[in-house]
Copies of this chain bind each other. A is one copy, B any other.
Amino acid sequence: MVANNKDISSFLKTHGLAGTIIRKQVLSHLWGDGVALTQKEIEEKLPPETDRVTLYRTLRLFTEKGIVHKIVLNGETQKFKIAGRFRKSDHAHFYCTKCHKLLCMPQLDVDLSDLPEGFQFSSARLVVEGICDTCSQKNQTQTQ
């Protein structure tokens, strides 16, 4: 639980969603900059009696509403992340393979001038992997 209950409740209300227990729990775990979790990872953080269908529906709802983004890493794992101030999931992301944070990087946006003649752009998805600034500064062994 990173953010307090008030914050999350009003956040849900802002987006026209009822403030149910599971939704608050899910949001509280996704709260914080760079936090990105798999559905499984979220499931493991919730009380064990939580129904997997409800979690599935919650995440689907959040994704539809644009509250969270689904991002695919290395063509395999799908992570969920609070959308923050970026409405569209179009912008670039940076995934740190050390601390497993997923950061928005709109400054990395694709240079469309390199698009060959005749090609029309519609959308782009870019995920860059590497080591983030925090992790490369601390050269000490660092877990999580």
Contact = CB atoms under 8 A, between A and B. Distances in A.
A126 B129 contact: no
Q: SS class of chain A's interface: helix, strand, loop or mixed?
A: mixed
A125 interface: yes
Contacts of A89: 75
Nearest to A133: B118
Contacts of A125: 74-75, 125-128
A121 B128 CA distance: 7
A107 B114 contact: yes
Nearest to A94: B119
B119 A124 contact: no
Contacts of A132: 118-119
A140 interface: no
A67 to B, nearest CB: 16
Contacts of A18: none
Contact of A118 (B107, B116, B137): B137
A74 to B, nearest CB: 7
A21 to B, nearest CB: 28
